[in-house]
Amino acid sequence: MADAIRVLVRRGGTVEAVHEVHAVAVQDGAVVAEAGDGGLVTFIRSSAKPVQALPLARAREDLDDRDLAIASSSHLAEPAQLEAVRALLAKAPAREDELECGPVDDPAARVLHNCSGKHAGMLALCRARDWPSEGYRLPEHPVQQAARAELAAAAGASGEELLTAVDGCGAVTFALPLERMAHVFSRLERLDAGARVTAAMRAYPDLIRGSAAPDSTLMRARPGWTAKGGAEGLMCAAGPGGLGVALKVADGSSRAVGPALAAFLAELGHPVDVLTVAPVLNSRGDEVGEVVTES
């Protein structure tokens, strides 16, 4: 096992912070590369969204690529992203105030939540299966039970083995080792409806997060790759030939994800030069430093 990836934050040439990053790659059911602790157990957070979208894709043949992409997204409330969320809600059909993400006391703001696409997809699944929509975010609801079963099957685990907690949006999130996350992504395109979901994400990479985000950037820069980031410095990706990658910044900092991902993928023979160095900007927009892996 190689050492963890070290990402340095330099300001004016002086190192002022260091992030430690664990990463693992899986292909054909075996670990093919590892940096740090590939067995680290952590929450998959929003990196689970492509898997959570699989029951939706199977249930709703009327949905197009944009619908499935926004259902798999952690968007930044940009105009095109909000337009896609509202289009999916219209197809569900569901109202914005039925979304169970965002502030309870301000239903009009819920569509702005970065998980509103996933929640719109969950409402669309409720309509397709004739499930009640109220409380769809809760662990006992059929939507969350379906998501749990989907992830467990993809990871080669039983549903009871998955540790759970409440995600930032109020839905369920699951904990498992990084190696199992990489395994999930190595199989993602071959899962039932997986090819449809991954193709949708690659067709609309900027809906998935945003133009400067590592997951959106990777999908634009490397044809055939599918990527989805998660909170607290997590990134999962699926590459050609059934290659799955999972990466976690130990301290949860998102700024280390891009350079660490670029370094790990370069070792695997898939360089993404645009992610190698991330600028440090001040409040004026001046570039005053850089985030880069230790050479």
CATH number, domain at 115?
Answer: 3.40.710
Domain encompassing residue 115:
5-293
Residue in this structure with the two tokens 């309870």, named with its chain if needed = 104
Query: For position 157, what pLDDT does the model report?
Result: 86
pTM, to two decimals: 0.96
> Distance between alpha carbon 223 and the CA centroid of its chain, in Å?
18
3-state secondary structure of 120: helix
Cβ(246)–Cβ(181) under 8 Å? yes
41 DSSP assignment: E
Plot region of 24 (φ>0 → left; ψ -120 to 50 → alpha; else → beta): beta
Query: For position 160, what pLDDT does the model report?
Result: 72
Please give the backbone phi and psi of residue 246, each rounded to the nearest 5 degrees, phi first: -135, 140
Series of mean pLDDT values for 10-residue runs along the chain (295 residues): 94 96 98 98 98 98 98 98 98 98 95 98 98 98 97 88 94 97 98 98 98 97 97 98 98 98 98 97 97 94
Q: Side-chain half-sphere of 2: how many Cα atoms within 13 Å?
A: 16
> How far is the C-alpha of 177 from the C-alpha of 171, rounded, in Å?
20
Cβ(71)–Cβ(92) under 8 Å? no
Query: For position 5, what pLDDT does the model report?
Result: 98
Domain count, the chain: 1
Query: For position 84, what pLDDT does the model report?
Result: 98
At position 70, the amino acid (one-letter code) is I
3-state secondary structure of 240: coil
Q: What sign does the dihedral 290-293-294-295 (CA atoms) show?
A: negative
Number of Cβ atoms within 10 Å of the Cβ of 16:
11
